[in-house]
Amino acid sequence: MCRLAAYLGSPIPLGRIIVEPAHSLLDQSQHATEAKLAVNGDGFGFAWYDDDPEPGLYRDVLPAWSDGNLPSLCRMVRSRLFLAHVRASTTGETSRVNCHPFVHEGWSFMHNGQVGDFASIRRPLEAKLTDSLYMARRGSTDSELLFLLLLTHGLKDDPHAAILAVLDLLRAHSVYGAGRDAVRLTCVFSDGKTIYAFRHASDDRCPTLYVQATKEGGWTLASEPLDGDASKWAEVPTETLITLSHGKQHHLPLAHTDGTERPAAA
């Protein structure tokens, strides 16, 4: 499983999240405490927003701790909103195109978890993509395909509805079991203005995610508390879409409000 972090608020150097804290994302790349694997060394990356609607993107196949450029970049690059990720691969080889975050037309996306039985269901899921988004696919991970499916199902207009549609697709095509066949999704994504996140699993074993408010009305998200003190962070609830904007946090359940089952997607 991977580790990830995100920030929204007053512009800060990326290092305040990625490098400097006692249990920073860089530290989590070697010493994760709430994951199946303590080491996440199959590449890393970060996407950050400034005045341009398209985010900047830096990704590499090196383990985060072995890239000598990372501390300097994180010290000098400042941003009001950024996503960062260290990878422990479950599907797809170690290559730059398979490293997170993924970006497309102003959106950035990263994922921690797995899609069960992905090799068997990859082709029918790819067939659900629009032609243009199918052509935009560069790697071979379940994560990138999730991102493109969300875009196909209207992420830009209604993130909540897009998530529900993609979860229905997974229920229709995946084994949806436990263990190796489990669907486990902790996803964080942004349009450069707002951060969205949700946790979902077929076996009640969602990868972790915590949120903390900043003093200036912003937000920090992380797979594990960056200061190592979970009492100062709130766990992001499962089966819920959370939306973070300046000074605001909004929750929507990932189910029909009347409690009825969602129909399987065709």
Q: How do residues 241-250 score in pLDDT, each as one tens digit?
A: 999 999 999 9
Q: pLDDT band for position 177 (50/70/90)?
A: confident
For 215, the 3-state DSSP assignment is coil
Supply the CATH number for residue 149's domain.
Answer: 3.60.20.10
By the 10 Å C-beta count (0-12 exposed, 13-18 middle, 19+ buried), 65 is classed as middle
Q: CA 204, 103, 246 angle in degrees (round to 5)?
A: 75
Residue 122 has a pLDDT of 93
Mean pLDDT across the chain, nearest whole number?
Answer: 92
pLDDT, tens digit, 9 for 90 and up, residues 69-78: 999 999 999 9
Residue 91 has a pLDDT of 76
87 vs 93, more confident: 87
Identify whether 206 is a catalytic site residue: no
To the nearest 10°, report the CA torsion of 37, 39, 41, 42.
0
Residue 65 has a pLDDT of 95
Domain that holds residue 108: 3-253
259 in a structural domain = no
For 26, the 3-state DSSP assignment is helix
265 in a structural domain = no
Taking the CA of residue 180 as centre, how many other CA atoms within 13 Å lie in the half-sphere pointing to its CB? 4
Catalytic residue among 2, 74, 99, 187: 2
What domain count does the chain have?
1
Residue 264 has a pLDDT of 34
Cβ atoms 242, 190 nearer than 8 A: no
Cβ atoms 246, 217 nearer than 8 A: yes
Residue 165 has a pLDDT of 97
262 in a structural domain = no
Residue 37 has a pLDDT of 79
